[in-house]
Structure 1
């Protein structure tokens, strides 16, 4: 103990002496030469940035900030694909956040990477199939099956072949599907050799035999009938069903050109009185008769007779009724068609039934024999039913609507009977009332018809009647009425109509009315009212992306950029919690693109870049964002190789877009590729001869190519085209360039 104390004292004294003796200390001189600098290439810079983003993403993921992590991973992948694994980082996060479209988008981009293991490809194929990207999923399955001795795959290849067959069928690649199913069948015949356990076999066959039904469809389409029969037999073994077995065999027999045997076998299904196959057996009967009778009229007559016979034993079978109506229409038998529709539409209403009812009634009308009042009444009711389903007539398709609206005699007859029905509840004598509907629906439908003809007097009359008949449900009528007026540039009338709606106790809080009237006010330069109404629409939007976006959109279009920027930013935050709501993705995309434009106009170029980056995070192939960001970078003289790549992609996606071609031309210019720049800018000018920016860029390019006369000519044309107020800064720059040439 004593020794250690002594040593400590000595050390303390020594340190004190050393600490005081600094009088002769001199500062070392640093050599005058600058330190060596390392310049990174653009690709090296991108890789470094991607690595940094990846680290940030990892940190956000550990903090359970999954949305932030996903965005960082996405951007890291875009800057350098070697840094991030789509399958390990991107897709699991996207699926967990219920952003399946993004997951499928990245899966589609990733499956071409040869480094992916088979288990990863399997997961990608499943994601792609769920999102309808069948061809890409097929590609993934093919890549897996092409590999030999792959230890990363945990399933026997027979199961993968079955999935390939099913997916190829969805992609309408039936020859490929047939080959894949051949492999699956071969494995079933030799399960031990194929490595199939009893559990695998059960998994392959399923509980319903669905895989064999897919095989049957594929083999019939490729005319491999023996294999199709075997598939039908196997499906029957897995899930016995005598009626469906007979139907499947009948279909096969017809494919084999054995119509009589097909008819005999199909009768087994009819005798069972099953409804399981819906309308398929009755359509198969029609096909059989078309094969047996070369004369179409004779075939139709025979089918109608047989279907009527079956209907006598199954009077409530609406599948027979609707098939009969459709066939009767094709045969020109409008009376039979409408008879069937009167019977089944009130009990089992379907859209195609209403469409056929319109066709059947119109079939009774001609210039020589105009539609009777009773038939016109039925037509008005059918239109009312269609309106009641979607508050629109769009489901009837424009071709049907045009047949009505283009016929003045028919329109006049409809107006007469509909008015009498709505006002006085009068129905023409001998009218069958099975298709009767509410007066308000009938009036609204006729109002829409007259809107289509731009007969605003008649349209107003019927819309007024619809509102009076059902004031509590008048919101949809006002909405349709106002929308029709707006679409036809009747803004004053639209404002009057929609303001009246807002004075109604039943409509004043309806967000869609505020949405519409804000647009009408904007068109009429009533900006303050437009802003107020759009704000109410957003406040009452009930999580509708479209309604939520109205307020910032109006602010932007009224020139209130700072407030629009604030509201759009808040909108993006709200939409993050609405990922599964239809319309969210497209609304968020549009909001970010608009925010980028706002930031550019406010001189906040870094933020403008960031918003475009966010669009590309969710969709790396978005042409609009690729173009805009590529152009921004070219303007800033940054990331020029990436700018060239991005604008090239945009042009490839839409070669006739002049703005995209201008952006690519400008990227070439910044890279010093002036000949290429000129060619691209000339293409842009051909597509749009009234864009001053294109002419300005052409002037700059001509100057670099040594043609001062052409450069000055292009700049002069640019001055003629640019807007003196909006483009004041650009105009000033062009004038300075011209002055420098003098």
Structure 2
């Protein structure tokens, strides 16, 4: 049962350091979630200089604040009260009291749920407060209220897309779509279809995107269209670009005839630029295995010296010549085009890249420097990174690499991918990485130091990514020392890395410094929480309890700190105290404004404790009660499924539940382990081996229980040597922990031959 503890409270951390490095150093804001507004008295409107606005599309102005001008009638008492709350919200926002303003807006909706006006303001305010769950909820309520409220759903979906929650945006729009009657609200219905098509295209689901786009395309082409001219105009936007996009999606979903219709439609809006239509036809002909015709059409595009398709046009040329087995023509064609079109930057950089691919580095350097944007352009910098790595010129590589990070635009997916490949290559090239570190240290040691802040930060991030902790600490401390008010993210990055790699003592030092830093008062609760966790994981339980007791007094509404004491008891295996603490938290949850997700986390922990104490029925009942309320809850399905599998009961149903969890998170190692274990219990040993091998593939996320399970599977398959190796690996992982799972270790020691039992690490370096 030891594995159940691990899977119920596993940390979920995603590495987004490349994006962070490119877009700035940010620490997520937090809010208490309190509705702290006091009951209002009717008051005259107060001018507001800024009210949160809802962006529906890029460049949109925020929705404006609506204030009724007509005097309400005496039989509209409820609306009167809602208006008072509405004006109170204005007053709070004008004073910068955003939490109180938000609470007042919620009261406005409560007092007049039939009006769309408060929703128009509340939803943007929730987005401004980063409460996406509540924004979704109220946006859907507004859309259900009146058809025009669907704009709120579309706006929230756009924000979800911007924060890379595209699947959530799609799900929200699909819910919104069900609220819009197609016949009565055809314009809005098709607008949602178009947005859904764009989002599916963004995540590479071209078949689904084409289904949405086809519906819009057919409606626009219908001779008896029920759309008004204004609705058609709104749907089209920039018609040529829209029909181009339709055509490309149709092409990628194996519908060439439909693609041709869309491309033909696009050409009608660009009669003076036939070259674009030729490019589209080239795509179509290549897709239909007609490379000669495709090349002829592409040459028409090049003859017009158009740049609108950028690098894609030259990549298409390269692909077509490869199809025709005429690769040797590429450089000559590109050089000839460049002579005739000297200001075409996309062409110049593509030519330089081809020189790099051919190993003609001197020609490539000259081409990058002579391009319209010069060697400072991100397209050049990515190429220079490759060249200088090949030339083993570490100072120039350092310069190109650190200059590339802030200018490579994440929106340029092709360039970002190439840059990431170069970064990966550097991290795998020991000589190159050692050279970069040595050069950075040399700059740092000069008098005065010549290592600047951002390059130091980048080197720290790269060292984290390659598990060079000592180097990472050095670069981060140097970067922090350069700032009077260092970004909180610097402390977050290095502290989380040290905790994740079980280097708790240096993590505690970093976090103690962050907690005491005068410029980080707003982030102090967050750093206190990390510091307390690190203390406990370092075995300093008494100190952790001492710090958390004071922290709860200092921040009585900070839920992570309030719940940390229970976790300390859990982690230190003080089970009775942990049970009492978690039960108290669950009981007090509503008064603490704890969200359902937080309450569920506490329930998962409580269930895991009962399971560890072999009170299986109690552990199961907690999960069953949760699933009765939330049958789709991913972790509850996994945890109960695993628990049943471990006990050998309800195995077919357990497998279905774990499959449901894996469908939501197919790469989750704990869920893969659960699947492997239920397959083992069902006698499906080959399938279990496959699942468990997937679960252990990440070298940074190793778990003793999973390796123990894998050993058991190998044993059943008759591969005793591989079984012993897996059990040894499990022991090695456990022996590295400050506190070990006694039951698991005892079981493993019985499986591994005495002469092959690994030695415990007796060092105290963590």
TM-score per shorter chain, which class? 0.5 to 0.7
User: Per-residue deviation at 1:568?
Assistant: 6.8
Contact residue 180 and residue 188 of structure 2 kept, 8 A:
no
What does residue 270 of structure 1 align with? 302
Contact residue 311 and residue 320 of structure 1 kept, 8 A:
yes
Structure 2: tracts of 5 or more residues without a match: 1-32, 41-81, 93-97, 107-112, 409-418, 536-542, 571-576, 611-616, 650-656, 658-673, 682-691, 693-702, 707-734, 742-766
Aligned residues: 541
Change (3 A) 1:321 1:614: farther
Q: Distance in 2 between matches of 1:89 and 1:617?
A: 25
Identify the match of residue 280 of structure 1 among 305, 312, 333.
Answer: 312
User: Per-residue deviation at 1:165?
Assistant: 3.9
Q: What is the 5 A alignment of 1:330-729?
A: 330-331=357-358, 333-344=360-371, 347=374, 349-351=376-378, 353-360=380-387, 375-377=391-393, 380-390=395-405, 395=420, 397=422, 399-402=424-427, 404-405=429-430, 448-449=436-437, 459=438, 463-468=441-446, 471=449, 473=451, 506=482, 510=486, 533-537=513-517, 539-541=518-520, 549-555=526-532, 557-558=534-535, 559-561=543-545, 563-564=547-548, 567=551, 594=564, 597=567, 605=582, 608-609=585-586, 620=597, 624=601, 627-628=604-605, 642-643=625-626, 645=628, 652=635, 655=638
Q: Cα RMSD (Å) of the superposition?
A: 6.3
Q: Deviations over 1:143-198 (max 9, x none)?
A: 7778997687474655454444444434544344444444434433446x442111
User: Per-residue deviation at 1:237?
Assistant: 3.6
Change (3 A) 1:391 1:251: closer
Which segment is superposed worse, 621-630 or 103-112? 103-112
Q: Deviations over 1:468-518 (max 9, x none)?
A: 16527555677678889999999999989988999x7x5676467877998
TM-score (norm 2): 0.53
Q: Deviations over 1:647-668 (max 9, x none)?
A: 986675784x79x9569999x9
Q: Tell which structure's C-alpha radius of gyration is larger.
A: 1
Q: What is the 5 A alignment of 1:55-454?
A: 62=85, 64=89, 93=122, 95-98=124-127, 102-103=131-132, 107=136, 123-124=152-153, 127-128=156-157, 130-132=159-161, 153=185, 155=187, 157-190=189-222, 193-238=224-269, 242=273, 243-291=275-323, 293=324, 295=325, 299-331=326-358, 333-344=360-371, 347=374, 349-351=376-378, 353-360=380-387, 375-377=391-393, 380-390=395-405, 395=420, 397=422, 399-402=424-427, 404-405=429-430, 448-449=436-437
Q: Distance in 2 between matches of 1:158 and 1:479?
A: 46
Q: Distance in 2 between matches of 1:555 and 1:338?
A: 52
Q: Distance in 2 between matches of 1:282 and 1:308?
A: 12
Greater length-normalized contact order (CA 8 Å, ≥ 6 residues apart): 2
TM-score (norm 1): 0.54
Q: Distance in 1 between matches of 2:392 and 2:353?
A: 20
Q: Deviations over 1:652-685 (max 9, x none)?
A: 5784x79x9569999x9xxxxxxx9xxx9x9799
User: Per-residue deviation at 1:609?
Assistant: 2.9
Structure 1: tracts of 5 or more residues without a match: 1-52, 75-83, 364-374, 412-444, 450-458, 574-587, 669-675, 692-720, 728-742
Q: Deviations over 1:224-281 (max 9, x none)?
A: 4343233223334445661434433333343344444433433343344333322122
Q: Distance in 2 between matches of 1:288 and 1:508?
A: 56
Change (3 A) 1:95 1:518: closer
Q: Distance in 2 between matches of 1:515 and 1:119?
A: 43
Contact residue 559 and residue 594 of structure 2 kept, 8 A:
no
Q: Distance in 2 between matches of 1:219 and 1:490?
A: 47
Change (3 A) 1:266 1:55: closer
Change (3 A) 1:315 1:564: farther
Change (3 A) 1:617 1:207: farther
Contact residue 35 and residue 99 of structure 2 kept, 8 A:
no
Contact residue 661 and residue 683 of structure 1 kept, 8 A:
yes
